[in-house]
Structure 1
């Protein structure tokens, strides 16, 4: 299948690892030129073929640096993947355990980074009739007591995608959302991150908790999603093959969400 991406320019946020890095690798394989941003860039990002930009995307200045770099280095933007998220900072606590500072940090990274990057990239995206994919989460559909800040920010991001698709569709810009369930990234796989904290609350060793996740979370396929699988969906939605898909939210969770 020819995705017709080999002449395109993409910006990917949260690009140094996990879903972001897998997306960079998948786009590069299609011949896309990429600017990849993260708080700390890594050798893996450069090896994947991206122009790395070190920036704090939870700030307006960081996003401004990213988009200006992309426009200066590559002359325009055809594709934008708003992937960066506050996964490392997510805490299992409920509403009364999340203060304003913590909530604002999560909103800045999960939601406002996408708002700011989209706003700055839109002139080029409109000119080139480009495409945006926002990476949300099934937490936007399955709100629970915790992590409340993460769930709220992802629900807002999903709503943003629908609004953008409606407003800018007539100008040729497509906007879609990808909502992963549990993905085998550092958020779950690193014992010091969210997955390790949840394992401790469950009273089991981290490695055993990872083994139990499909059963505990009701994953129909019996396994955790791989970053490359999410990346493949993102790349498809950015491509001309998906030219009449916009304003949609695609769940990739191995069957965790049981509702229609």
Structure 2
């Protein structure tokens, strides 16, 4: 084969690849969860968070880095409803406030007895091995979520699952450029709800890429929700089209809220960067 023929073949291949990509971009696709009983997924969520608040006239900043390692088990799929059990395997946290540092690692017992972190460790240790049970339909709409096994840490889990590690899909096919709006309230006891706009930005045979733009507000269905919540949530997700599961997500949340401690409430601003990676392991 001559050099000229090689060049023509390369050009033809590139043109064909471009044609295929264009065709995929124009094709309408259906997004939904395609899960089977026995499926298992590893889930790692890395959260960098800054909380600024003022209490009794004193301003303070809490910086914390948190890493949650979880395993999700698909226990049943029946009549279009998917029951998922997510178990907390390992938690690592690093908090800094008022010049003091609290370190916690569920696999390092030396972090359980520090003067500043003993009470904190007691609460966090209750999460290890505990499971969150969620039931959702094939679109990702959560019907119910049970976090009772987590005790006082249940609210943390509910907010952790407020749309950063799963997507809610439309009830119709979409093509690149289409968007749809969904309301996400992971559990009745959650303090906040998310009104999310999803946009399909890219599609291949294996993956779908979404951008997210949402607003955070107080969960009005929860009479025990304390204080007003306002904020935004934006980012992007990569979806595994074979299962419908999120494989990668990068989310930024900015919000103002009322915090409560020892019977007192005070305003706070919270900025969070949440990176999540989910892999099928069985």
TM-score using structure 2 length: 0.32
TM-score using structure 1 length: 0.33
The structure where helix makes up a greater share of residues is 1
Larger of the two Rg values belongs to structure: 2
The structure where strand makes up a greater share of residues is 2
